[in-house]
């Protein structure tokens, strides 16, 4: 038979009292909370009502700031693009396209141009709003009124006049697909380093130019002159002279001179494949600038 000592009984009594006091405190606290506003002065009550109204307005404003309204995707700004989760490169593609006074006419064309993901399109394409005459092409006056001012994304150019890439200026380069001011100046700067381009393939090594832009540049330009092309003698140039060549650095220049001193003069560009750390992916282009 279980027996308790006096100490056990005393402990149990203290526990029961503690539970009772705790329940009384909770009851008092809840009643105090409910009657707090009863003790307020009229001014304090008015202030509390005003504060509640301000809080409600803040919540409504927050909801409105996150709400997305229908918009024309052709006019997405840098800020709006950032808010929608577009990358800087995707926004730039759209802006460069618009600089050519061209527009996208559908969600599919927008995705093809910018490269946004399918998930992005599911979230935001439902808000795209194009002009009525774009979405309703059955209108009788559609072509006569808008065809020239709102060009179709994949509209083919009637005739392309091929120009010399080594003589093209900034304005002429900007006519190429997705080539804006920055990329046009970058192409000219790269051309100046070599004196002249020796191959259209050199465009592929300029950072920031997309494959689509390069394809269009190849349609509009060719290498037709090379009078300013700066050649370099691979067998007599010093390390300092070699490292000035745009595709070389100090390490590559040093390795070329070291290999040359140990094995004799280079006979052809193929001999350069034996040089340590040589940029083999650019060998065909580099060969066009070399003298033996």
> Each residue of 272-287: pLDDT tens digit?
999 999 999 999 999 9
What confidence category does residue 105 fall into, taking pLDDT thresholds of 50, 70 and 90? confident
Query: Mean pLDDT, to the nearest integer, of 269-274?
Result: 94
Range of the domain at 275: 232-291
- In the structure encoding, which two tokens stand for residue 166, read together? 């080594």
pLDDT in tens, 18-31: 888 888 878 776 66
What confidence category does residue 250 fall into, taking pLDDT thresholds of 50, 70 and 90? very high
- For residue 111, is it within any domain? yes
Q: What percent of the chain has pLDDT over 70?
A: 76
Eight-state DSSP code of residue 102: B
- For residue 246, is it within any domain? yes
Structural domain count of the chain: 3
The CATH number covering residue 251 comes to 1.10.150.280
What confidence category does residue 53 fall into, taking pLDDT thresholds of 50, 70 and 90? low
Q: Count the neighbouring beta carbons within 10 Å of the beta carbon of residue 92.
A: 20
Residue 9 has pLDDT above 80, yes or no: no
Gap between the Cα atoms of 31 and 235, Å rounded: 97
Q: Say which range, 51-55, 130-134, 144-148, has the weakest mean pLDDT.
A: 144-148
What confidence category does residue 138 fall into, taking pLDDT thresholds of 50, 70 and 90? very low
Same domain, 236 and 189: no
Could you tell me which residue, 10 or 152, shows the higher pLDDT? 10
Could you tell me which residue, 253 or 16, shows the higher pLDDT? 253
C-alpha distances (whole Å) from 40 to each of 37, 43, 49, 187 are 5, 8, 12, 74
- For residue 68, is it within any domain? no
Gap between the Cα atoms of 140 and 156, Å rounded: 23
- For residue 176, is it within any domain? yes
Same domain, 280 and 244: yes
């Amino acid at each position: 038979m279980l027996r308790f000592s006096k100490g056990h009984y005393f402990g149990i009594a203290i526990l029961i009292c503690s539970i009772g006091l705790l329940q009384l405190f909770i009851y008092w606290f809840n009643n105090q909370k409910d009657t707090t506003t009863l003790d307020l002065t009229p001014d304090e009550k008015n202030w509390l009502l005003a504060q509640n109204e301000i809080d409600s307005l803040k919540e409504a404003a927050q909801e409105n700031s996150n709400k997305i309204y229908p918009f024309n995707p052709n006019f997405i700004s840098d800020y709006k693009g950032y808010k929608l989760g577009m990358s800087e490169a995707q926004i730039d593609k759209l802006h460069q396209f618009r600089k050519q006074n061209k527009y996208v006419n559908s969600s599919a064309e927008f995705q093809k141009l910018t490269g946004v993901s399918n998930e992005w399109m599911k979230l935001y394409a439902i808000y795209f709003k194009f002009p009525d005459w774009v979405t309703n092409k059955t209108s009788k006056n559609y072509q006569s009124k808008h065809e020239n001012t709102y060009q179709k994304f994949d509209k083919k150019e009637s005739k392309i006049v091929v120009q010399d890439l080594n003589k093209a200026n900034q304005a002429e380069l900007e006519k190429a697909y997705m080539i804006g001011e920055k990329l046009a100046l970058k192409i000219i700067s790269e051309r100046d380093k070599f004196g002249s381009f020796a191959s259209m393939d050199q465009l592929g090594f300029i950072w920031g130019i997309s494959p689509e832009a390069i394809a269009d540049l190849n349609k509009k330009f060719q290498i037709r002159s090379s009078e300013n092309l700066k050649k370099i003698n691979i067998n007599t140039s010093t390390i300092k002279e070699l490292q000035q060549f745009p595709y070389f650095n100090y390490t590559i220049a040093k390795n070329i001179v070291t290999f040359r001193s140990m094995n004799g003069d280079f006979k052809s560009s193929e001999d350069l494949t034996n040089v340590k750390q040589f940029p083999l992916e650019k060998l065909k282009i580099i060969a066009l600038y070399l003298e033996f």
